[in-house]
Structure 1
Amino acid sequence: MMLSEGDWLALSVSVQLALLTTVILIVICTPLAWWLARRRLPGQALLEAVLALPLVLPPSVLGFYLLIGLGPNGPGGWLANVVEQRSLAFTFTGLVVGSVVYSLPFVLQPLKNAFSAIDSKQLDMAAVTGAGPRDRFLSLVLPQCREGYVSAAILGFAHTLGEFGVVLMIGGSLSGQTRVASVALYEHVDAGDYVSAHRLAAVLLGLSLLLLWGLFRWQRGRSGPGAMP
């Protein structure tokens, strides 16, 4: 299937954005999900509701607030100074920040569910034998939560790959910088170029299906020797 050079470039930006966002979210969500899974504190339900907001909040609403926050006069100005930019709006860095916020629950929830399933008695027994928190996490928790990490990574990547409202609001359409595949698809439809739109949509559909098929096949393969592929 022949895509234009601009569409390949947009797809490349999307993949780079999805990869970077997924890596950042795994790093951020690992301690956060562990804390949420193992603690019960006042106000925790409200915190979890805030973290899960991207699941139900219209992307345009989230994108609007991110645009304000990442602008030159927004609270994200300090981060712009760190990366030596006047504003993070309409930059690739801004897209990464927005994608991390938007895709966070898709990585956080699988990790939290995996951590919640860990038997506390195993950790207590390991602690009695002298294993420190780091050793317990690396030797007991991570091996048992491998499926949760795979699910979190695939869902985070796939969700970021398909973003539209948030990335359009905070990134616009700068070729090679912020023009992602979903925005390119919208522009094709808006221009009446349905041939290009069909081609790009088919690629995105195929990638999404391949990612989910791989995830479900891997999960079924781990469910037992008699599982169907």
Structure 2
Amino acid sequence: MTQAFLLSFKLAALTALVLLALGVPLAYWLAFHDFRGRRLLEALLLLPLTLPPTVLGFYLLVLLAPDGALGRLGLRWAFTFPGIWLGSVIFSLPFALTAYKEAFRAIDPEVLDVVRTLGVGRVKRWRRVILPWVWPGLLSGTLLAFAHTLGEFGVVLLVGGNIPGETRVASIYIFDLVQSLDFASAHRAAAVFVALAFAMIYAVRSLEERWRSPTG
């Protein structure tokens, strides 16, 4: 069980870090820029919200296979940890991106206009105005992405299979226990998930309340 949970934490942490690095500038751009094709781009980015995980996992498996489009480019990541990491990034992107974008949209545009009028540079504007305003929303989105990745099953199973120490994350480990009728062990592992989920949801809600509070 320990190995499976450590692998899940590793996957969730790496996914959350990548989403933070890529999602924040993308969300800022989408929040403050209007351009042709914006709705189409957002629809594509948010598509994993409505796709069954098995569908997304299947197409990623086809792409990452040795004879797939990405596999022929050298990304032969089917049934590997990098493969489930890529799948997790794509599948959790909508959760992080939506939270990040809402955080940026909460900024009063007039405040940014005044700051620009005063000649404050971009770096100082981000450090002194934008980040203090949006950091609870950014952290909330990152925690949501982490939690979502931690509990993912369908995409990980389709892309990575069930390889101990490589792709067998905690959700797949619990599935194996249930299949083998070891309900006592499955209960212990599932209870860990329940505790983690409660802690993270509580943290996210606390951050959202602070973010929306006028005095936060």
Q: What's the TM-score once normalised by structure 1's chain length?
A: 0.88
| Structure 2 Cα separation of the partners of residues 197 and 93 of structure 1 | 27
| Structure 1 Cα separation of the partners of residues 151 and 19 of structure 2 | 16
Q: Which of the residues 164, 174, 196 maps onto 2:163?
A: 174
> In structure 2, what is the equivalent of residue 61 of structure 1?
55
1:92-146: CA deviations, max 9, x gaps?
A: 1111111000000110001101111212222222222222223212221111001
Q: Does 1:77 align with 2:71?
A: yes
Q: Percent identity?
A: 45
Q: Does 1:214 align with 2:203?
A: yes
- Write the letter of the residue equivalent to 2:31: A
> In structure 2, what is the equivalent of residue 39 of structure 1?
33
> In structure 2, what is the equivalent of residue 84 of structure 1?
none
> In structure 2, what is the equivalent of residue 4 of structure 1?
none
| Structure 2 Cα separation of the partners of residues 10 and 152 of structure 1 | 24
Task: Tell me how far 1:219 sits from its aligned partner.
Answer: 3.7
* SS of 2:26 mapped into structure 1: helix
Please say which of residues 195-204 and 11-20 is displaced more in the overlay.
195-204
Q: Does 1:141 align with 2:145?
A: no
Indicate the RMSD between aligned Cα atoms, in angstroms.
2.0
2:92–2:148: 8 Å Cα contact kept in structure 1?
Answer: yes
Task: Tell me how far 1:73 sits from its aligned partner.
Answer: 2.4
Structure 1 unaligned blocks of 5 or more? 1-6, 82-86
| Structure 1 Cα separation of the partners of residues 137 and 185 of structure 2 | 37
| Structure 2 Cα separation of the partners of residues 17 and 79 of structure 1 | 24
Distance 1:32 1:223, change over 3 A: closer
Q: Does 1:96 align with 2:85?
A: yes
- Write the letter of the residue equivalent to 1:188: L
Task: Tell me how far 1:78 sits from its aligned partner.
Answer: 6.8
Q: Which of the residues 9, 19, 23 maps onto 2:13?
A: 19
> In structure 2, what is the equivalent of residue 201 of structure 1?
190
> In structure 2, what is the equivalent of residue 108 of structure 1?
97
Q: Does 1:184 align with 2:173?
A: yes
> In structure 1, what is the equivalent of residue 120 of structure 2?
131
Distance 1:39 1:225, change over 3 A: closer
| Structure 1 Cα separation of the partners of residues 210 and 29 of structure 2 | 30
- Write the letter of the residue equivalent to 1:196: S
Please say which of residues 15-24 and 127-136 is displaced more in the overlay.
127-136
2:81–2:160: 8 Å Cα contact kept in structure 1?
Answer: yes
2:137–2:208: 8 Å Cα contact kept in structure 1?
Answer: no
Please say which of residues 38-47 and 90-99 is displaced more in the overlay.
38-47
